Amino acid sequence: MKRIVLLILSFLALTSYAQKFENLALTPPMGWNSWNYFACDVSEDLIREAADAMVSSGMKDAGYIYINIDDCWHGERDSLGFIHPDPEHFPSGMKALADYIHSKGLKLGIYSDAGWETCGHRPGSRGYEYQDAMQYANWEVDFLKYDWCATQGLNAEGAYLTMRDALYAAGRPIVFSICEWGTYEPWKWGGEIGHLWRTAGDIYHCFDCAIERDGGAWYQWGVEQILDMRDNDTLRRYAGPGHWNDPDMMEVGNGMSINEDRAHFAMWCMLAAPLIAGNDIRSMKPEVLEILTNKDAIAIDQDSLGIQGFRYQVADSVETWFKPLENGDWAVCFLNRNPTTRDITFNWSTENVVDAIFGFDANFKENEYSLYNVWTHKKAGTTKKPLKATIPGNDVLMMRLNLSR
């Protein structure tokens, strides 16, 4: 008992020097999370099977490394306030599970909440931040998603700052995911506290919808609604290596059409968003796996510049997005938000594509780019000729523009 108290006091003393862990999440984190498909139906068997599938499916080779347990893993706190996993669903304990995940070359993520209880009505971390951070370090956790239910009377920035300091005092580098749904503009303060922060409410497996919950107390949102929920130019200026805007976990493979899944994934890549799969990766259809492991699309998301793309123009339900990439390259994505087919023409030489926030100019009049179709994996000409294409409903045309050298 005395040793535990001394450890806690020593951790508290370190908070005057606390900061977030640097050199983590230098590109948007990639992984899988249990919530979108399984909700509270989690167990150590499921998590082990997800880790196995991450490796055997090729997702790990494509860059996915985090296996994140969301809500409802919690058991009770002991007499000293330390949380323990549900003994029925996690009988081997979290350290044994972490060891298994790490043996696969993957990393373990876990979930808690800044309030008295989690959104799934399990014990939250309010008042126990340092005990929880110590426990996560002892279990060798690598990622913490920190939610915002049952937080009456709390200041969001202060609550997340407390957990940041607790994690730093515990001494194990952990990626810290802020999840207060963008309510308190975390992009303005999250960069000094966490490595990613939610910019919107919870996603739902639809392309264009709003799902009312609890009599309108809260909603789940479709892909299009999340794209429109915040001003992108406001958000993108705050994102970059080590600090990312997070439009929520993905719904690829959870019931949308393949066109919609492809558009969803492409836009998350254009946004330099964390790529956290939310489907049952143990039993994916081949076409879903093909989307999730498209290395050309992933390379756009994971580009070392870390610049979030921007909406350039909208014409006849088709949005044109651009994203600066390293070595002078660009990505372009034409998003057809209409359920019917649209034809497009894009004359590169007459378009003035400039990223004024980060100081990049495509300068199509003087620069020639070769076009590479990210989804067909084929060359598609150059910018010397206008682009003419047909885009199916709720789908995308996504290309990498390679600067001719």
pLDDT tens string 97-141 = 999 999 999 999 999 999 999 999 999 999 999 999 999 999 999
C-alpha distances (whole Å) from 189 to each of 181, 273, 322, 395 are 14, 18, 26, 34
Domain boundaries of the chain, sorted by first residue: 2-301, 310-403
Q: What percent of the chain has pLDDT above 70?
A: 96
Rounded mean pLDDT of 333-360? 97
Rounded mean pLDDT of 273-286? 98
pLDDT tens string 36-56 = 999 999 999 999 999 999 999
**Residues with catalytic function:** 147, 202
Say how far apart CA 113 and CA 147 lie, in whole Å: 4
pLDDT of residue 7: 53
pLDDT tens string 191-221 = 999 999 999 999 999 999 999 988 888 899 9
pLDDT > 70? residue 312: yes
Rounded mean pLDDT of 365-369? 96
pLDDT of residue 10: 53
| Three state DSSP letters for the chain | CHHHHHHHHHHHHHHHHCCCCCCCCCCCCEEEECHHHHCCCCCHHHHHHHHHHHHHCCHHHHCCCEEECCCCCEEEECCCCCEEECCCCCCCCHHHHHHHHHHCCCEEEEEEECCCECCCCCECCCCCHHHHHHHHHHHCCCEEEEECCCCCCCCHHHHHHHHHHHHHHHCCCCEEEECCCCCCCHHHCHHHCCCEEECCCEECCCCCCEEEEHHHCEEEECHHHHHHHCCHHHHHCCCECCEEEECCCCCCCCCCCHHHHHHHHHHHHHCCCCEEECCCCCCCCHHHHHHHCCHHHHHHHCCCCCCCCEEEEEECCEEEEEEECHHHCEEEEEEECCCCCEEEEECHHHCCCEECCCCEECCCCCCCEEEEECCCCEEEEECCCCEEEEECCCCEEEEEEEECC
Rounded to the nearest integer, the mean pLDDT of the chain is 95
pLDDT of residue 217: 83
Q: Model pTM?
A: 0.95
Q: What's CA 351's distance to the chain center, in Å?
A: 31
User: Within 13 Å, how many C-alpha atoms sit on residue 264's CB side?
Assistant: 33
pLDDT of residue 75: 98
pLDDT band at 290; cut points 50, 70, 90: very high
pLDDT of residue 361: 98
Cβ-contact 274, 302 below 8 angstroms:
no
CA angle 215, 218, 221 (to 5 degrees): 115
pLDDT band at 15; cut points 50, 70, 90: very low
CATH code for the domain defined by 310-403: 2.60.40.1180
pLDDT of residue 163: 98
Sheet holding 369-373, edge to edge: 310-315, 318-324, 330-336, 396-403, 369-373, 378-382
pLDDT band at 3; cut points 50, 70, 90: low
pLDDT tens string 70-86 = 999 999 999 999 999 99
pLDDT of residue 216: 83
pLDDT of residue 130: 98
CATH code for the domain defined by 2-301: 3.20.20.70
Q: Are strands 318-324 and 74-77 parallel, antiparallel or unpaired?
A: unpaired
Q: Is 278 exposed, middle or buried (0-12, 13-18, 19+ CB in 10 A)?
A: buried
Rounded mean pLDDT of 256-265? 98
Longest alpha-carbon distance in the chain: 75
pLDDT of residue 8: 53
- Which two three-digit tokens encode residue 37? 């498909």
pLDDT of residue 1: 52
Q: Are strands 175-178 and 83-85 parallel, antiparallel or unpaired?
A: unpaired
pLDDT of residue 115: 98
Cβ-contact 256, 264 below 8 angstroms:
yes
pLDDT > 70? residue 11: no
Cβ-contact 267, 310 below 8 angstroms:
no
Quote the crossing angle between the two packed helices 156-170 and 129-139, to the nearest 10°.
40
Q: Is 256 exposed, middle or buried (0-12, 13-18, 19+ CB in 10 A)?
A: buried
